[in-house]
Structure formats: structure tokens, C-alpha cells
Amino acid sequence: MTKNFYVTTPIYYGNGPVHVGHFYSSTIANTIYKYQKISGKNARFTTGIDENSQKAVIKAEEAGMPIMEYLDSMAADHTRVWDHFNMDYTDFIRTTSNRHKITVQNVLQKCFDKGDIYEGEYEGMYCVGCESFKKDEDLVFRNKTSWDTFPVSDKVKVSENIEKICPDHLTTPDQIKEKNYFFKLTNYQTWIEEFYKANPRFVNPDFRYNEVKAFVGRGLEDFSISRETNTFGIELPFDSDQVTYVWFDALFNYYTSCIQSRAWDKNNEKFIDESKVFWEGSEENKREILHVVGKDIIRFHAIFWPAMLASYFDLGETDDKGILHYKSSDNDYLPNEILTGGYFTVDGQKMSKSIGNVIDPVEYSEKYSKELLTLYMLSAFPIGNDGDYDRRDAILNFNAKMANNFGNLVNRVVVLTMKLGLENGLYGNSDNEIKSTTNKYSKEYSDSMNEFNLKESLDNTFFFLDVLNKFADTKAPWQTIKDDDKTETIETLYTLAEWVRQVGLNLYAFFPEKMSELFAKLGLENYAARLEKWELEDLRKETPVFNITEKGQPLFARFEVE
Ligand code: MSP
């Protein structure tokens, strides 16, 4: 039976243009989605924007625009970027939409009726940049004269020269005191610890999981889920003076998109309930849910989110002392994995407008190429680690791997095959040696793709291309073609073409447009359409005939280092 697979990106704040940090999460999710889809899964992929936030209200005011007009322009800008990159999302979620409001209000009411949401008063600090409540340990002191920052401690006091700021936004959080509703996260302490124990792969990479477990081990606290002073957002169904605070709203986007999944019927948009396909699993439906996130939002996804879902879906079992315990069928309602990306700097520096090193993904990809950006983002450092986007290295890396190793090899195969002037195309037997090499390569490739280790898949592919280039050098078909008997040349070229075809099939998930060009160069028809119809495995096994008729443009251009 086809397995249902659901991958998501974070929904990005609708208070500014898309930058390359967002692109990073999206390209990871898009590549994973493509691979899962072409290899036969019933896959879906969602992205969207997180609109109900104070930040957006502030930005709209600054721009002198009515809030909804501002958000519409942001949504259009986000989809423009994702469409430019041909991101293959199945749904784009806006949290101001009616379908989302309905979902969130249902969830809130249910959790409230159950007694997991209660009224209280919040007094403390709130960072608008992070849209989260802050404690001293989350903040730093900054000396206003030297700009040095150091941990907050009781020994130092805020003064004319010392300020307490958020380390990520470098702004002083607001001091607030207001009536709030709280979510009883403390009810879920035992449940979540047992859930983690039973699911050792819930957070990837391991070291991030260890941080999450250590945080939970220090004891959970209830958290505020509403704001009294915010006017823009989803009203609490049980108290219309309050709107829900971003995370209770934002996280449920993943569920909204399943329970009111967007579908098209003769040009009419309608919504269908796919929650039993992609969210609620069962013995028969071992669906897989993967959230791709950045390390800054890991606690929300790995701690708050499972607890909120446990509350909404009534998960767990309460013992006679009133403690809630995890049970294995709870997994049917929870995500399988939180794939947590690290942060990257650009040329060794934090990305910032003042330094002027913020990369606009569209502009950058137009100057170089989409493939250059994707290749470097996904292969310079593994998902999970922090890394650096070294702009010079990105170009050198692209030239070496794509233009030289890959592009040149393709060119050689095309040019030499055309020289042979074969009437019935280039064909041969995929003998055991060809097969065993491709099987080994494809198995390693698929294993790392299934573990979401995209860097390993790419590294492995470029290693394989190195081997192919060495094979070409040893066989030197540009020499043997001068012989009267062309048998050896045909064999060599067929072997190379077949291996390049296998590379193309595997790189399709990363570079669908370029690999479609490659298939056309090799005279392979309908490949992209067949891949999109889940036929990766069948295509891998086929014995093709290469009808190479045109030299065409090189597959990849080379770029100058500036
Ligand atoms: N709206 C929330 C997410 C809600 S999901 C239910 C949010 N939005 S965000 O726009 O601020 O960020 C979205 C993602 O972009 C984060 O996961 C963040 O890690 C990622 N990145 C932003 N800048 C980044 C880098 N410089 N490097 C890598 N990723 C970064 O958080």
C-alpha cells in the first residue's frame, strides 16, 4: 500500500520579504518532498505565512497600509519567490484565512473544555521580534558604551549604561502585565518524557534532541497562550477580549491544511478533509509527518506542539494518582520527526541589513543559477549543524562539481555519440558490472535520502561522478573512436550514458528543471512526467536506448569568482 507522507516548512512571518534563511528550510522540505513523491509515496508538502503577529501590525503601520492589504502583498511576495524556484508545495497556508480560524477556535475550545486552558495573569517580559515571553536566562546584558554582551546575573543591574536585550533581536523586551490564558503544560511532563523515551528519533539531529530533553528535564512550566493587548489575531472562543498568541495559532497550521485541505474542482477552490489520510494514523495507515524547522523554533515544535496535540486529541492515559502517561497509539496523532536545521552565516558574518550581506534568493539565483544556490545550501554543511555560506566557495564548488565533473561528462557523451552517427540510437546491455555499480550507488543514495541526509546523497553522487570521469579517462573513447571497429567505443559510451542517466534520476529531486534538460539531451522521453507519476524505481531498472541528436547548450554555465 502507498504510504502517506507529509512534509512541512515553518510558516514564515508575514512581516518582510523572503530571505535565504527561509529559502533554506523550504529547499530542504521541497527536495525531501520531491524524492518521496517520485519514489512512490502519496506525498504532500505545505508552506505558508504566519500572519497574526504584532510584528506584521507594526510593519503595516510603518508602510501606511491597512493590515490586510499589507498581508495580501506579503503573501503574494512569498508565493512569487516559491514559484520562481518551482517549489512544488501542495498547499500554501495563511493564518488569517477562515479555514484556519475555524480550526484554531475548535482546538482552543476543546482544550479549554477539558481544563487544559485556564485564566491567569502574566507579568514579565515579551520580545516582539521572537513573539515569545522571555525569562532572564533567555536574555543578555549589553554595555551601551562598549557594545559587549554578557549573561544576565543578579550581580549587575540595568542602568544608564547597561541594558537587558534579546540576543537575537538586540532589542529590549516589553515589560508587560496583563490578564492571559495559560496552557497547562505541566500536566504533560511525564507524558512527554515517556513519549521521548519511546521515540528516540523524534528530533533530528541527536544533539538537538538532547538539548530538548535536558530542558524538559529541568521541569516544564505552563505557558501563556493569549494576549489581551493585541487586537489582531484569532479571538479566543471563550473570551472575545483576547486573541490567541502566535504559537497556539501558528503550529496548528499543519493540521488546518489537512482537515481543510485545498482542492480544485473545475476551477473552483474547495476544501476537503484529508486529516484521516495525512494526520490521524492507524494500524493500516502508518502515515509519516515530518516538520522541517530552524533551531530557533525547536522548543515550540518539540515540546509545546506534541503537548497541544495530546490535549486536543485526548492522548495518553491517566493513572490513579492523576498522572498522564504516554501510550504507543498516541503516535498516530503526533508528528514522526522534527528535522532541525542550524543557522548559517554569510562569508563568516551574521546576515544583517546593516552589513549588507543578506542574500535575496531570487536576485542571487538570477545572477548565478538556482542550482548553484540549492547545491551549496544543501551540501556545504549537514542539516542540523550551523554553517557558513561562503559566496566565493559556492561558485568554485558549482564550477567544479556541476560545470566540470557533471556537465563536461554529459557533453563528452553527447558529442562522441553524435560522431558515431548511430541510426538506431545508442543501445547496449546493462551487464552485471554496470548494474552492480548503479545498484550500489542508488542504494546508498536512497538510504541517505530516506534519512533526510541530503548532503550525504549529494556528496555520494559527486563521488560517483568522479569515478565516472576516471572511467572515461581510462577508456578514452575520444581515442578509440578513431578505430575502425567501434564496438568498444559504443560500449564505453553506453556505460557512461547509463550511469549519467542514473545520476539524473537521483538528482531530479534536487534539480528537476536541469535534470529534465539532461533527459532531453540523452534522448529520453517523458522522464519528468513519469517521475512525477512515482516511477523512479521502474525508470532505474529500465534498459534505455539513447537517441542523442543534438548537442545543444552546455547543461551548466561556469561562473567567474568576483
Ligand atoms: N513564524 C515562525 C514559525 C512558525 S511555524 C509554526 C517563524 N518564522 S520566521 O520567519 O522567523 O522563521 C522561519 C524559519 O526561518 C525559522 O525556522 C528560522 O530558523 C529560519 N531562518 C531564518 N534565518 C535563518 C538563518 N540565517 N539560517 C538558517 N535558518 C534561518 O519563526
Task: For residue range 208-266, list pLDDT tens digits in order.
Answer: 999 999 999 999 999 889 988 777 899 999 999 999 977 889 999 999 999 999 876 66
Q: Whose CA is nearest to atom 29 of ligand 1?
A: 21
Query: Cβ of 299: how many Cβ atoms within 10 Å?
Result: 16
For residue 170, pLDDT beyond 90: no
Residue nearest to atom 2 of ligand 1 (CA): 12
422: closest CA among 486, 517, 499?
A: 486
Question: Length of the chain in residues, anyone?
Answer: 562
Site to probe by mutation for ligand 1, drawn from 343, 381, 383, 389 as the one with most ligand atoms within 8 Å of Cβ, is: 343
Task: Reply yes or no on whether the pLDDT at 344 is more than 70.
Answer: yes
What pLDDT, on a 0 to 100 scale, did the predictor assign at position 11?
97
Say how many Å lie between the CA of residue 134 and the centre of ligand 1.
18
Instruction: Choose one of 12, 291, 357 to mutate for the ligand 1 pocket test, by most ligand atoms within 8 angstroms of C-beta.
Output: 12
Note the pLDDT tens digit of each residue in 406-449.
Answer: 999 999 999 999 999 888 899 987 677 778 888 899 999 999 99
- Ligand 1 atom 24, closest CA: 21
State residue 403's pLDDT score: 96
> What pLDDT shows up at residue 157?
85
Atom of ligand 1 nearest to the CA of 12: 10
Q: List ligand 1's pocket residues with C-beta within 6 A.
A: 10-13, 21-22, 24-25, 50, 250-251, 253, 293-294, 296-297, 341, 343-344, 351
The region that residue 107 occupies, defined by phi over 0 for left and psi between -120 and 50 for alpha, beta otherwise, is alpha
Which residues, including other chains, have CB under 8 Å from residue 188's CB and lie 6 or more apart? 220, 306, 307, 310, 311, 324
Testing ligand 1's pocket by substitution, the residue of 7, 19, 24 carrying the most ligand atoms inside 8 A of its CB is 24
137: left (phi > 0), else alpha (psi -120 to 50), else beta? alpha
Residue nearest atom 6 in ligand 1 by C-alpha distance: 251
pLDDT, average across residues 309-316: 98
Residue 35: the pLDDT is 97
In a mutational test of the pocket of ligand 1, which residue from 8, 19, 25, 77 has the highest number of ligand atoms less than 8 Å from its CB?
25
Whole-number Å distance, alpha carbon 129 to ligand 1 midpoint, is 12
Looking at residue 154, what is its pLDDT? 83
In this prediction, residues 525-550 reach a mean pLDDT of 93
pLDDT digits (tens, 9 = 90+) for 385-396: 999 999 999 999
Distance of CA 21 from the midpoint of ligand 1 (Å) = 7
The x, y and z cell numbers of residue 59, run together, are 510593519
Pocket test residue of 7, 50, 92, 308 for ligand 1, highest count of atoms within 8 A of CB: 50
Best mean pLDDT range from 127-131, 138-142, 443-447 = 443-447
The minimum-distance atom of ligand 1 relative to the CA of 253 is: 6
Mean pLDDT for the chain overall? 93
Q: What is the mean predicted confidence (pLDDT) over 323-336?
A: 98
Q: Which letter, b or e, does each residue of 149-180 get, where b requires 16 or more Cβ atoms within 10 Å of its Cβ?
A: eeebeeeeeeeeeebbbbeeeeeebeebeeeb
With a cut of 70, say whether residue 162 has pLDDT above it: yes
In this prediction, residue 310 carries a pLDDT of: 98
Least confident of 30-44, 168-182, 315-329, 501-515: 168-182
Q: Whose CA is nearest to atom 23 of ligand 1?
A: 21
Distances (CA, A) of 561 to 396, 397, 556: 7, 11, 16
Rounded to the nearest whole angstrom, what is the distance from the C-alpha of residue 381 to the centroid of ligand 1? Answer: 18
| Amino acid identity for residue 116 in this structure | D
pLDDT by residue (tens digit) across 271-307?
899 999 999 999 999 999 999 999 999 999 999 999 9
- Which residues are CB-neighbours of 484 under 8 A, at least 6 positions away? none
pLDDT recorded at residue 269 = 77
Whether residue 66 is predicted with pLDDT greater than 80 in this model: the reply is yes
Q: How far is the CA of 175 from the centre of ligand 1 (A)?
A: 24
The atom of ligand 1 lying closest to the CA of 10 is 5
Residue percentage of the chain with pLDDT more than 70: 99
